[in-house]
Amino acid sequence: MEEGYKDKKRPSGHDISDTFDDPEDADGAIRPNLWNSADSPDYAPDFIELLQNANIPPKLLEAAEKHDVLDELAETVLSQHVSDNVLELANTASNTHYLEACRTADVEPHPARFPRDLPEFFIKFLSEPGDTVLDIFAGSNITGRVAQDLEREWLAFELQKKYLQTSQFRFMDIKEIERMQDEDQSGMEDFADIEPTD
């Protein structure tokens, strides 16, 4: 991101708008290069506040300020915190099974999918094989797919039926989807209608 970004629809289907990099207009989105921004000439962090938040002793802060090395201290201390606590994951895959399935069925993919590595990290971290993983905002159900791959049971809740329907692609062969398309000329409207179970 050092050279900025181009506001356009990505091959992955994500629509990156021209407000993406503007924190004022980002609607709660976190800048992708938050941690790298300390390198930017425009960024003027309050090193003392950052170091106080990281529980650096006041005497050390005073000494660093006196010797004009606050920025070096912040870089050393905070890079440890950041590398320990931040997952940096790309979300740019454009040739996944799910996307291929959506293209095959001629339906829009879910617009805000997570990269696979995100649920994978937390499922491995927080559960054991045989446990049940619940995602109450399942979207395209990458959580369920990863949970199943990692031998967990899973439950997926999703408000929008169209996302729930197409999430089933994650558990189907492309050939199976092609066959359904050929058989059902009415398109995807009735595809895999999901009825509540007992």
Ligand X SMILES: C[S@@+](CC[C@H](N)C(=O)[O-])C[C@H]1O[C@@H](n2cnc3c(N)ncnc32)[C@H](O)[C@@H]1O
State phi, psi for 76 to the nearest 5 degrees. -65, -50
Residue 144's contacts (CB-CB under 8 Å, 6 or more residues apart) are: 133, 135, 138, 154, 155, 156, 167, 170
Please report, to the nearest 10 degrees, the dihedral formed by the alpha carbons of residues 28, 14, 103, 137 taken in order: -20
Q: Does 163 bind ligand X (CB under 6 A)?
A: yes
Q: Does 114 bind ligand X (CB under 6 A)?
A: yes
At its nearest, how many Å lie between ligand X and the CB of residue 138?
A: 6
In the complex with ligand X, the residue whose CB is nearer, 67 or 161, is 161
Tell me the two tokens of residue 115: 């990269």
Tell me the two tokens of residue 50: 């950052």
Q: Does 194 bind ligand X (CB under 6 A)?
A: no
Residues binding ligand X: what is the number (CB under 6 A)? 14
Please give the Cα distance from 54 to 81 (Å, whole number).
8
In the complex with ligand X, the residue whose CB is nearer, 20 or 114, is 114
Q: Looking at 36-44, 47-55, 83-91, 107-115, which segment touches ligand X (CB under 6 A)?
A: 107-115
Residues in touch with ligand X (CB under 6 A): 110, 112-114, 136-137, 139-140, 142, 157-160, 163
